[in-house]
Amino acid sequence: MSKSRKITLGVTAGALALGAGLGVTSIASATTTPTPGPTSSADTKAPSDGHGWHAGHGRDGGQIASKLASKLGVDQAKVTEALKAFRQANKPASPPSEGSETAKPDRAAQEAALAKALASALGVDEFKVTSALEEIRSEAKADKTAALKARLDKAVSAGKLTQAEADAVTKAVNSGVIGGGGR
């Protein structure tokens, strides 16, 4: 097997492993999971509709609501309810039909609409909400970058990847080719 073929296979394997491990996640997710109460856990999960500010990924476990509440100085339950209300208000009337291509909504417009809705629901200045969301996104991106670096460093140390392959994966993620980076 040629060296370039081995490198290509290595980078591809790394990309697949990265994709499986990290998934194609957005920096922040509006999906929240309230603290369990006396009802079953199935009753307390927030709906996953895949709309709003990256809602529906279900991976944040309520961290967005918690972080927003902390940054805005409001109760987490109010933030959770405001996020749920936003998702419900922006939920499509019907799911896309199979095989149809739907245009992706404008991300900037969605984020502006989220900030406006949260500001109104929470009684907080819209600029403050926008700033808090941007801070949370930046923190999450830094965490994701650090986790990727640690994972690739471990793969290099274990001999699973060369440093050049790890660098290629990092470059691909940062440029948005794989893993949802480069935004």
pLDDT of 61 reads 53
Q: Which amino acid is at 38?
A: P
pLDDT tens digits, the chain, 183 residues: what are they? 666 666 666 666 555 544 544 443 333 333 444 444 444 333 333 333 333 344 433 445 578 899 999 999 999 999 999 999 998 888 877 776 776 666 677 888 889 999 999 999 999 999 999 999 999 999 999 999 999 999 999 999 999 999 999 999 999 988 889 875 544
Three-state SS across 98-131?
CCCCCCCCCHHHHHHHHHHHHHHHHCCCHHHHHH
pLDDT of 91 reads 82
Domain boundaries, the chain: 43-90+104-183
Q: Pick from 114, 26, 30: which is nearest to 64 by CA?
A: 30
Q: Which two tokens stand for residue 91?
A: 């939920």
pLDDT of 32 reads 43
For residue 28, CA distances in Å to 10, 53, 54, 145 come to 30, 8, 7, 14
Q: Which two tokens stand for residue 20?
A: 């499986």
Whether the full predicted model's pTM is greater than 0.85, yes or no, is no
pLDDT of 66 reads 92
